[in-house]
Amino acid sequence: MSTSSHGRLVALSVALFTVFGAALTLTGTLLPQLIAHFGLSYGEAGTLQVSSQVGYLAAIVLSGWLSARIDGRMMLLAAIVLSLVGYGAFSLAPSFPAACALMIVGGAGGGAIEVIINAVVMKLSETRRSNLLNFIHLFFGVGAFIGPAVIGRLLALGVTWNWFYFGTAVCWTALLLGTLACRFPSIKPVETASAEPARSVFSLPLARVLFLVLTLYVGLELGVGGWVTTYLVHHEGMAASYAAYSASAFWLGIAGGRLILGVIGHRWHESGILTILAAFSAACLLAAVLVPSPFAAALFLALTGLGYSGIYPTTVSFGGGAYPEQSTPVTALLVTGGGIGAVAFPWLMGHISDGFGLRGGMVFYIVLNILLLGFILTARRMHSRAHT
């Protein structure tokens, strides 16, 4: 492949991950407006949030089967069309059930995009694929930061929620045209782990604990990130535009922390990094609930994002390093745990908030954060015993 074609594919991958990151934060940032528009309870709002994750997981599960039958370029085009239709039609959704269905469609598009772009990037750079993958994935965090910031600015100018979904559909349309203009390398079928290897490594004690770590962590990251604007608006009384900026700060903390750990994280063992991050995030989340000022709460929520930043990649690295001969099925098991947490805990947050208020829902997340720290300490002790 020529240098110019290589460069265009890298630029396309960067653009896709940036828009994907912004799109993923869209519903959480606009949740107060969506609750008002559709007349939702907090439980229904939680269902709306996890709908995209259901589609995302379905796409991940089906990607291996589909990639054996459809070439990568066609799969990517189909994935972008799903995202375009899901987000574009959501701006005109006539009812809550229709909105959930469209979120599933959009989420499926996002999941397929992630799978295909990962495969493309690994094909582009056989020797330095880790560096290129980390570079591409950084732009997911950039999009997750930019999206809420733009929403906050435009909400202050009176722009209504549906225009943001329409604008996202316009971005997907531009990326569809960009994909049509690119040449793609030949991509082997995407390998997705089968259930059998994942079940076999579940018998490994440390792998089981790390599975629970990622189940809790992903639920916390997407849950706190998805509910931060609603909590600040409905419980703390903050203006919607400022709450959107706070969501942006939360995702900036995650992106910035991952960038920092990518440079200095090799100096410490994974278990030590995880312990510090989990303890710091738990303390900041507790402070966010206890402080009397909404702006102080927003600050501590942003710091919570910083604490969450390195937990996912560090846990995956910890598991792969602990079982180097079984790194692929172990990673598949951990990713499965993350998928379960992504669906379960934001949904539970909504139903708990229906019964006990948003403060009660945030207390639920504090408890989960403390459990996360407990499982990390357990994993640390297990690893230490195995190496003494």
Query: What does the pLDDT look like over 1-12, one tens digit per residue?
Result: 566 677 888 899
Which residue reads 């189940």 in tokens?
Answer: 215
CATH superfamily of 193-388: MFS general substrate transporter like domains (1.20.1250.20)
Which residue reads 């082997």 in tokens?
Answer: 188
> Has residue 179 got a pLDDT over 50?
yes
Q: Which amino acid is at 152?
A: G
Q: Read off the tokens for 171.
A: 């971005």
Q: Dihedral sign, CA of 175, 180, 186, 190?
A: positive
Cβ-contact 292, 251 below 8 angstroms:
no
Of 346, 22, 36, whose CA–CA distance to 165 is shortest? 22
Burial of 126: CB neighbours in 10 Å, binned 0-12, 13-18, 19+: exposed
The answer to whether the 1-192 and 193-388 domains have the same CATH topology is yes
- For residue 361, the model assigns a pLDDT of 96
Which residue reads 């934060």 in tokens?
Answer: 25
pLDDT tens across 195-207, in order?
455 567 888 999 9
pLDDT tens across 214-245, in order?
999 999 999 999 999 999 999 999 999 999 99
> Has residue 103 got a pLDDT over 90?
yes
Domain ranges of the chain: 1-192, 193-388
* Helix, strand, coil distribution of the chain in percent, nearest 5: 85, 0, 15
Query: Which carries the bigger pLDDT value, residue 119 or residue 92?
Result: 92
Of 230, 282, 292, 211, whose CA–CA distance to 35 is shortest? 230
> Has residue 188 got a pLDDT over 60?
no
CA 133/CA 41 separation, integer angstroms: 39
Of 247, 253, 203, whose CA–CA distance to 225 is shortest? 247
Cβ-contact 32, 230 below 8 angstroms:
yes
CA 161/CA 322 separation, integer angstroms: 46
CA 145/CA 166 separation, integer angstroms: 19
pLDDT tens across 35-63, in order?
999 999 999 999 999 999 899 888 877 87
- For residue 186, the model assigns a pLDDT of 66
Confidence of residue 255 (pLDDT cuts 50, 70, 90): confident
The mean of the pLDDT values for the chain is 88
Q: Above pLDDT 70, what percent of the chain?
A: 90
Cβ-contact 369, 79 below 8 angstroms:
no
Q: Which CATH architecture has domain 1-192?
A: Up-down Bundle (1.20)
> Has residue 193 got a pLDDT over 50?
no
